């Protein structure tokens, strides 16, 4: 199977623009797209909302993913790298990025280009993490110097990806359904430790308001 993934996030972008770029590439390479996955949404949304998770779940070994450009896959180099590595290393599928002329094929283990690309991605991702960390520290120090109290107010609970399913989660938990089963059978997303912390914090807070 060959999948064409398209994501647009702003008014000046169009689905057709990306589809035409991919289609021209496919015509040149004599490739036929079997399924298009299209979404109009910001990169700020989750992988599931951006249909990246859907794409990952669908692909199998020997499949191919074609995207118009790197920025369509993620919000940062780190995220883009993680998505590409997961597809290539775990699902063993080929990833083609048309605009950047990137073609990573897990079958070509001896292809030096693939190794160089992964190495460069990793270096840039590490550099990006360092920059973000440095800017965060500088911002916190600047706020502290101005006398601004850091951290969230005591008792305030931050928003969570589990909030939309909160009632269902608490209902299942109170019925004695194991956390792993809540994730695998009822939610189809999340991790054990994060959901456990979520339930512990919210459930206690909910009980105090009853």
Where does the pLDDT of residue 84 fall: very low under 50, low under 70, confident under 90, or very high at 90 and above? confident
pLDDT of residue 210: 40
Is residue 152 over pLDDT 60?
no
Is residue 83 over pLDDT 80?
yes
Q: What is the DSSP string of 80-137?
A: HHHHHHIIIIIS--EEEETTTTEEE-TT-TT-HHHHHHHHHHHHHHHHHHHHHHHHHH
- How far is 209 from 129, CA to CA, in rounded Å? 40
66-102 burial, b for 16+ CB within 10 Å, e for fewer?
Answer: bbbebbbbbeebbbbbbbbeebbeebebbbbbbeeeb
Nearest to 125 by CA among 95, 90, 82, 87: 82
Mean pLDDT of all residues in 173-178? 87
State the residue for tokens 């020997």: 62
pLDDT of residue 208: 43
Q: What is the DSSP string of 10-25?
A: STT--HHHHHHHHHHH
Is residue 115 over pLDDT 90?
no
pLDDT of residue 209: 43
Mean pLDDT of all residues in 144-168? 73
Residues 151 and 100: beta-carbon distance below 8 Å: no
- How far is 4 from 36, CA to CA, in rounded Å? 5
Is residue 81 over pLDDT 50?
yes
Task: Answer yes or no: pTM beyond 0.85.
Answer: no
Is residue 151 over pLDDT 50?
yes
Percent of residues, the chain, with pLDDT higher than 70: 77
The HSE-up count of residue 71 (CA atoms within 13 Å, CB side) is 8
- The mean predicted confidence, pLDDT, of the chain is 81
Segment 24-67, tens digit of pLDDT: 999 999 999 999 999 888 777 888 888 999 999 999 999 999 99
Bridge partner residues of 40 (DSSP):
8
pLDDT of residue 147: 75
Is residue 180 over pLDDT 60?
yes
Where does the pLDDT of residue 116 fall: very low under 50, low under 70, confident under 90, or very high at 90 and above? low
Pairing of strands 64-67, 2-8: parallel
Question: Could you give the angle at the alpha carbon of 20 between the alpha carbons of 18 and 26, nearest 5°?
Answer: 105
Mean pLDDT of all residues in 100-115? 75
Residues 4 and 22: beta-carbon distance below 8 Å: yes
State the residue for tokens 């990137």: 102
Is residue 182 over pLDDT 70?
yes
State the residue for tokens 């000046």: 12
């Amino acid at each position: 199977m060959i999948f064409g993934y398209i994501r647009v996030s702003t008014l000046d972008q169009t689905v057709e623009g990306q589809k035409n770029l991919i289609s021209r590439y496919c015509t040149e390479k004599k490739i036929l797209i079997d399924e298009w996955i299209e979404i109009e949404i910001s990169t700020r949304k989750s992988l599931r909302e951006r249909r990246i998770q859907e794409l990952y779940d669908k692909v199998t070994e020997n499949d191919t993913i074609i995207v118009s450009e790197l920025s369509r896959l993620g919000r940062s180099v780190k995220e883009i790298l993680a998505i590409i590595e997961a597809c290539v290393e775990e699902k063993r599928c080929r990833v083609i990025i048309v605009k950047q002329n990137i073609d990573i094929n897990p079958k070509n283990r001896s292809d030096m280009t693939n190794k160089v690309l992964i190495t460069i991605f990793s270096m840039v991702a590490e550099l990006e993490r360092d920059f973000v960390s440095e800017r965060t520290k500088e911002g916190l120090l600047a706020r502290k110097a101005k006398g601004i109290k850091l951290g969230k107010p005591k008792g305030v609970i931050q928003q969570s990806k589990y909030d939309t399913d909160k009632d269902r989660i608490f209902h299942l938990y109170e019925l004695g359904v194991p956390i792993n089963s809540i994730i695998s059978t009822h939610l189809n997303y999340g991790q054990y430790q994060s959901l456990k912390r979520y339930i512990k914090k919210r459930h206690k807070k909910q009980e105090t308001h009853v």
